[in-house]
A = this chain, B = another copy of it.
Amino acid sequence: MDHEQVNQHLIDHWNNNLPFNKLLGLRITHCNAQTSEIRFLWQDKLIGNPVQKILHGGVTASALDLAGGTVAAANIIEQLSDVSPSSIQQSLSKLGTIDLRTDYLRPGRGEEFIVTARIIRSGSKVAVARMEMHNEKGEHIAFGTGTYMVG
Q: Chain B's nearest CB lies how many Å from the CB of A138?
A: 15
Contact B18 A47 (CB under 8 A): yes
User: What residues of B have a CB within 8 angstroms of the CB of A45 in the complex?
Assistant: 19-20, 23
Query: Interface SS of chain A: helix, strand, loop or mixed?
Result: mixed
Using CB atoms and an 8 Å cutoff, list the residues of chain A in contact with chain B.
17-21, 23-24, 44-52, 55-59, 61-63, 65-66, 69, 89, 93, 96-105, 107, 120-121, 125-126, 128, 130, 140, 143, 145, 147, 149, 151
Question: Could you list 9 further interchain pairs (A-B, Cβ under 8 angstroms) beyond the known A57-B61, A103-B128?
Answer: A19-B47, A20-B46, A21-B48, A58-B59, A58-B63, A61-B102, A100-B102, A103-B145, A145-B145
